[in-house]
Structure 1
Amino acid sequence: MKRWLIAFALLCYLSGQAQQKHTFAYGDEHFLLDGKPFQMISGEIHYPRVPREAWRQRMQMAKAMGLNTIGTYVFWNVHEPQQGVYDFKGNHDIAAFVKMAQEEGLWVTLRPSPYVCAEWEFGGYPYWLQNQKGLKVRSTEAQYLAAYRKYIQEVGKQLAPYLVTHGGNVVMVQIENEYGSYGSDKEYLRINEKMFRDAGFDGLLYTCDPAKDVAKGYLPGFLPAVNGLDSPERVKTLVREYHHGKGPFFVAEWYPAWFDWWGEKHHRVPAENYTARLDTLLGAGLSINMYMFHGGTTRGYMNGANCYDTSFYEPQISSYDYDAPLDEAGNATPKFMAFRQVIAKHLPAGQRLPEVPAAKPTMTLPDIQFKNTGSMFSLLPAPRNAERPMTFEALKQPYGFVLYRTKTKGGREGVLSIKELRDFGIVFVNGERVGVLDRRKKEDSPAVKLPTGEVRIDVLVENMGRINFGPNLLKNEKGITQKVTFAGQELKGWQMYPLPYTDPGKASAKAGGKNAPALKRATFNINTTADTYLDMTDWGKGCVWVNGHHLGRYWSIGPQQSLYVPAEWLKKGTNEIVVLELLKPEQELLRSRTTPILDVLQ
């Protein structure tokens, strides 16, 4: 009898699910949901930038502001970190993210293009593509298409069941991403379309481009969404020009603020600069996707970098706060409340917004004193040997650090020149620090005095983030990418020590030379959990892990001077913290605070 009841309940559930199946289509002016006009008020949230345990809270905040849809990219380098190795678990479980949005009554626009930009490492491409000689991203080159096809098939297995055509909540799927800003090959876009169809994406497809690039980036027959415009008439004119004289009209990226990079002032724009623009767009019946509604944090080593030409390099910070309506920790900002008021004016008759959840509690941790400190160089793995320095890619190491070591005759002085250093380096002579290198400032050639006898030269190099936008996507190798000379003579005979530091592990480092980068470990005890921020103002440069979770990078130059610690990653009782400090190994005290520091340059 019990089995019969379970079977009956399951049948009723499946029947209910079938009855909830919806239709989504293009009308002449509006999207049509179940045949009725539907104004999409969407906000972008990226699942890897938010702890999985906090996804639902962020979605509930989206509904409280008046959003009915969530937009998200799908990140290739997250899901295929090494060729043929796929990861859709934990914080990378995109299907669970989409399903949760459905449970919260939210639609989803999906952006699974292999290229995402997004201020994300390599624009979402996996590093290993660079190891295939002749491969050219965003093109019809055979190796690229073969890798792309395998990946998108795996994504389709995860997400095609959630399309609205299959009873799910994914209403539209974007192919490519602002392609018109990069190229204009319609054959390449058609291949994208076929790959998406073959992967099971059988619903509505669309493209998105900035206004000036729509002509190059749209695909005939598909809706051309426009990015970055506030004028309804300009949007309508553009879309009609390329979409049979019809709508619907969709601003796929409507920007309420902007992102930050190291060494530059934090971007902050008052809400009042945007409320009238939002009111105008919604009043004209346009649909929008707010980029970002909630930025979160780019943890690990997944930040990208700007490099439009060879004259500059701008790696982005770990905080992706974005001055968005929802702050880095998921709390409502004044911008959130202002936008909520605007959206409430444009709700369908009889619909009311839910109450705004209270701000999440915050706390400070007890001061943390690091007694367990050791040299990063005391935990070196077995080296790789080569005549000339090998790149990260040649070492099959995506991110983190590589220590380059060679020996030469001392008793002389000259310039140590590292050609095409990418991106940040520290030079040691016989274990003593003698120089700091910074690609941003073109600092790659310190004057060095070598002591007498045989001398050991070490160059520790950090990958600060691969370029994510512009013409230099294919110039993204990391490490020492060419050669090293001293006093004009090339240094050969190198040992490379890969130091990915995805997880600092439990091994304790031992004492090292003067100014050697330090690994520091400590524990702290708490009786309750809440959000907090580590105050890194007095520290130099490095990364922090709490209970095994990589919180991101810090760097004293700013503007970010704090690291967000989500309550979800703390636990009552004993917690472990690990700091990798590159420049100030003598620092021992770490304090916390209840608010972030995102706008201090030093």
Structure 2
Amino acid sequence: MKKNLLWLVVFCFSISAFGQAPKHTFKLGESDFLLDGKPFQIISGELHYPRVPKEAWRERMKMAKAMGLNTIGTYVFWNLHEPQKGKFDFSGNNNIAEFVKIAQQEGLWVILRPSPYVCAEWEFGGYPYWLQNEKGLVVRSTEKQYLEEYKKYIIEVGKQLAPLQINHGGNIIMVQVENEYGSYAADKNYLDINRKMFIEAGFDGLLYTCDPAADVKDGHLAGLLPAVNGIDNPAKIRKLVNENHDGKGPYFIAEWYPAWFDWWGTAHHTVPAEQYTKKLDSVLAAGISINMYMFHGGTTRDFMNGANYKDISPYEPQTSSYDYDAPLNEAGNATEKFRQFRSVIEKHLPAGQSLPAIPAAKPSMAIAPFKLNEQVALFNMLPQAVKNATPLTFEDLKQDYGYVLYRTTIKGGKQGELQLKQLRDYAIIFINQKRAGILDRRLNQNTLSLTLPEGDVQLDIFVENMGRVNFGKYLLENKKGITEQVTFAGTEVKNWSMYGFPFKNINSYTTKPSAIQGNGPTLQKGTFKINTVADTYLDMTDWGKGVVWVNGHNLGKYWAIGPQQTLYIPKEWLKKGNNDVAVLELLKNDQQILKAIDQPILNTLKKINVE
């Protein structure tokens, strides 16, 4: 009797610990995935919870079902969930457990990618900025401090998501260990540490790795399924997987790219659906599983865009729009690519299955021009200064994102070159609060010729973090601001006052009806009134460079150089009646008129004169 009672207690504990008793099984067969013991072909699309308003998650998932997807994939973003060391956040739009549960309610399986490194055109590849303040810490390595912080994080993620695995009654069918690690290094011990951490965090279901074809050998860990990224030739996929998996399958394209992302100053990337429909058809006909990256990109808001940087290419910060030319556009509407892919998928449905109708496109609206009637010059609302002999980085100042003003006084009456060593990433230079020039890391600019007036001169350098590098070896060189020294005419400039503008809560910055003085950055606020709520797009074509908030929501960055000229406002963040808007404008403070249009502009490049 005692033995039976003990068993009952253990059984009840297991149910309470992991949510509910298992309902399904998901395993690897010799050549197929096996769902409840039967062959199952994953037809998945990537969809990232922070790039879509929480209120619209279900809508996007219904669209996934309508295209024929049976699964969605998502990363988990460390810098969202632990923005400051030891302070975890899984609330609101960060509530990934809710995201997974909604997917289950909508009949979708989930492939989870919770490794600390995500790439994803995301700030610092998903790493929180504060890791760089841990002296000696090295990301993506076996360095002790990194593994300690990693472990704390993955344990917290496990608390949220391990109970939602299929073997515990949930809908997470696979969990990815690391992310394209073979493109970075080849340390199998490090990969095995990752695997063990996942299991300790409760991820005791099916684990896998994913790498580009050329890097599978280095990124794969024996015993785990090796998934392949970026190729869609069935014979090559089978060969690669067999070589690294004891001659067996199943076969899974973890990232299939029928489109691409954008970065500032470069043409909008589009790929016609016709170039990919036959490839999709051949993959599905061969029984190979697939995850489209992206099915729906959405928008990268809240200063969370990343950047690419290599020795042979310039710094390339990504745009806020993550439309990606994906089957589902930035606003969540079906595109021609969506319809053509759906037609291909429909051909390969199991007997007796049919697809739901495609939901109608959401209405969108224009908003008539309106004036922002309150403003303030940032130079007139300085926070408390941090003083130091040499410039401090954002990280030194314990500031994650946004802007820092560096101010000092130098002796005038001479000419010379101002040099900012290792500027990251964009600096507006002011002499006695008059703009003297701009330095842009994208263009490899770090020096500016100046002629200083007589007497003491106030030198201001307003620096923007335009996104930490998210891929490659430069993950280890990601501090922001003026990261080394400033010299003028060959002499080091010292004695700096630094003022941080992280813009975490736009409501904490006050404005008033007054004329703008000087030509420095400004914050402007106003309201617009609407009688109907619908998606819309702020047209920033006539503005310079900055950020917009609507009803407290950060919509992302704009920059006149393009290709993105509009900022998407989802209907979920609007309300009937008055809506609040705030604009941080860095370059054109005489611009005060805003308007919205009913379609995005994502493909217009412009040359702008900012001198």
What TM-score does the superposition give when structure 2 sets the normalisation length?
A: 0.95
The Cα offsets for residues 335-378 of structure 1, whole Å up to 9 and x where unpaired, read as 00000000000000000000000000100113121221220111
Percent of paired sites with the same residue: 65
- 1:309·1:472 contact (CA, 8 Å) conserved in 2? no
**2:186 alignment partner AA:** S
Query: 1:507 and 2:479 equivalent?
Result: no
- 2:528·2:578 contact (CA, 8 Å) conserved in 1? yes
Q: Give the 3-state SS of the residue equivalent to 1:288 in structure 2.
A: strand
Query: 1:491 and 2:509 equivalent?
Result: no
Query: 1:552 and 2:545 equivalent?
Result: no
Q: Which residue matches 1:377?
A: 379
Aligned pairs for 1:72-91 (under 5 A) are 72-91=74-93
What TM-score does the superposition give when structure 1 sets the normalisation length?
A: 0.96
Question: How far apart, in 2, do the equivalents of 1:183 and 1:445 lie?
Answer: 35
Aligned pairs for 1:320-331 (under 5 A) are 320-331=322-333
| 1:157/1:180 CA distance change after superposition, 3 Å | same
Question: How far apart, in 2, do the equivalents of 1:443 and 1:244 lie?
Answer: 51
Query: 1:595 and 2:586 equivalent?
Result: no
Question: How far apart, in 1, do the equivalents of 2:419 and 2:239 lie?
Answer: 54
Q: Give the 3-state SS of the residue equivalent to 2:603 in structure 1.
A: coil
Aligned-pair CA distance for 1:18: 5.7
- 2:22·2:167 contact (CA, 8 Å) conserved in 1? no
The Cα offsets for residues 543-601 of structure 1, whole Å up to 9 and x where unpaired, read as 00000000000000000000000000000011000000000000111111110000000
Q: Give the 3-state SS of the residue equivalent to 2:506 in structure 1.
A: coil
Q: Give the 3-state SS of the residue equivalent to 2:185 in structure 1.
A: coil
Question: How far apart, in 2, do the equivalents of 1:206 and 1:368 lie?
Answer: 52
Q: Which residue matches 1:3?
A: none
Q: Which residue matches 2:298?
A: 296
- 1:423·1:462 contact (CA, 8 Å) conserved in 2? yes
Q: Which residue matches 2:319?
A: 317
The Cα offsets for residues 228-273 of structure 1, whole Å up to 9 and x where unpaired, read as 1110010001101111111000000011100000000000010000
Q: Which residue matches 1:272?
A: 274
Q: Give the 3-state SS of the residue equivalent to 2:581 in structure 1.
A: strand
Aligned pairs for 1:116-195 (under 5 A) are 116-195=118-197
Aligned-pair CA distance for 1:465: 0.2
Question: How far apart, in 2, do the equivalents of 1:511 and 1:140 lie?
Answer: 56
Question: How far apart, in 2, do the equivalents of 1:210 and 1:254 lie?
Answer: 10
Question: How far apart, in 1, do the equivalents of 2:111 and 2:252 lie?
Answer: 12
Q: Which residue matches 2:609?
A: none
Question: How far apart, in 2, do the equivalents of 1:517 and 1:590 lie?
Answer: 17
Question: How far apart, in 1, do the equivalents of 2:193 and 2:130 lie?
Answer: 22
Question: How far apart, in 2, do the equivalents of 1:513 and 1:358 lie?
Answer: 49
Aligned pairs for 1:31-430 (under 5 A) are 31-309=33-311, 311-430=313-432
Over the aligned positions, Cα root-mean-square deviation in angstroms equals 1.4
- 2:527·2:579 contact (CA, 8 Å) conserved in 1? yes
- 1:183·1:217 contact (CA, 8 Å) conserved in 2? yes
Aligned-pair CA distance for 1:25: 0.2
- 2:516·2:589 contact (CA, 8 Å) conserved in 1? no
Question: How far apart, in 1, do the equivalents of 2:312 and 2:400 lie?
Answer: 22
Question: How far apart, in 1, do the equivalents of 2:519 and 2:466 lie?
Answer: 21
Aligned-pair CA distance for 1:311: 4.9
Question: How far apart, in 1, do the equivalents of 2:135 and 2:404 lie?
Answer: 22
**1:274 alignment partner AA:** Y
**1:23 alignment partner AA:** T
Q: Give the 3-state SS of the residue equivalent to 1:473 in structure 2.
A: helix
- 1:255·1:291 contact (CA, 8 Å) conserved in 2? yes
- 1:378·1:512 contact (CA, 8 Å) conserved in 2? no
- 2:72·2:110 contact (CA, 8 Å) conserved in 1? yes
| 1:207/1:126 CA distance change after superposition, 3 Å | same
- Specify every segment of 5 or more residues in structure 1 that has no aligned partner in the other structure, as ranges: 1-10
Aligned-pair CA distance for 1:518: 1.0
Question: How far apart, in 2, do the equivalents of 1:18 and 1:421 lie?
Answer: 53
Question: How far apart, in 1, do the equivalents of 2:21 and 2:301 lie?
Answer: 41
- 1:433·1:516 contact (CA, 8 Å) conserved in 2? yes
Question: How far apart, in 1, do the equivalents of 2:511 and 2:153 lie?
Answer: 39
1:517 pairs, out of 511, 516, 521, with: 521
Q: Which residue matches 1:7?
A: none
Aligned-pair CA distance for 1:444: 1.9
1:564 pairs, out of 553, 565, 568, with: 568
Q: Which residue matches 1:527?
A: 531
Q: Which residue matches 1:8?
A: none
Q: Give the 3-state SS of the residue equivalent to 2:476 in structure 1.
A: coil
Question: How far apart, in 2, do the equivalents of 1:520 and 1:273 lie?
Answer: 45
Question: How far apart, in 2, do the equivalents of 1:145 and 1:222 lie?
Answer: 21
- Specify every segment of 5 or more residues in structure 2 that has no aligned partner in the other structure, as ranges: 1-11, 607-611
Aligned-pair CA distance for 1:20: 6.9
**2:540 alignment partner AA:** M
Q: Give the 3-state SS of the residue equivalent to 1:193 in structure 2.
A: helix
Aligned-pair CA distance for 1:428: 0.6
Question: How far apart, in 1, do the equivalents of 2:152 and 2:579 lie?
Answer: 40
Aligned pairs for 1:9-24 (under 5 A) are 21-24=23-26
301-310 or 240-249, larger mean C-alpha shift? 301-310
429-438 or 273-282, larger mean C-alpha shift? 429-438
- 1:431·1:513 contact (CA, 8 Å) conserved in 2? no
444-453 or 99-108, larger mean C-alpha shift? 444-453
Query: 1:582 and 2:575 equivalent?
Result: no
Q: Give the 3-state SS of the residue equivalent to 1:225 in structure 2.
A: strand
**1:127 alignment partner AA:** Y
Q: Give the 3-state SS of the residue equivalent to 2:110 in structure 1.
A: strand
Aligned-pair CA distance for 1:102: 0.4
Question: How far apart, in 1, do the equivalents of 2:20 and 2:250 lie?
Answer: 28
Question: How far apart, in 1, do the equivalents of 2:350 and 2:312 lie?
Answer: 51
Aligned-pair CA distance for 1:513: 4.0
1:441 pairs, out of 440, 443, 462, with: 443
Aligned-pair CA distance for 1:202: 0.4
Q: Which residue matches 1:573?
A: 577
Question: How far apart, in 2, do the equivalents of 1:274 and 1:192 lie?
Answer: 34
* Structure 1 runs (4+) greater than 3 angstroms displaced: 17-20, 509-513
Question: How far apart, in 2, do the equivalents of 1:308 and 1:97 lie?
Answer: 35
The Cα offsets for residues 464-504 of structure 1, whole Å up to 9 and x where unpaired, read as 00000011110100000001111111100000101101222
1:536 pairs, out of 536, 540, 546, with: 540
Question: How far apart, in 1, do the equivalents of 2:375 and 2:244 lie?
Answer: 62
The Cα offsets for residues 56-86 of structure 1, whole Å up to 9 and x where unpaired, read as 0000000000000010000000100000010
| 1:415/1:164 CA distance change after superposition, 3 Å | same
Aligned-pair CA distance for 1:19: 7.5
Q: Give the 3-state SS of the residue equivalent to 1:514 in structure 2.
A: coil
Question: How far apart, in 2, do the equivalents of 1:526 and 1:415 lie?
Answer: 51
- 2:21·2:168 contact (CA, 8 Å) conserved in 1? no
- 1:207·1:224 contact (CA, 8 Å) conserved in 2? yes
Question: How far apart, in 2, do the equivalents of 1:93 and 1:18 lie?
Answer: 20
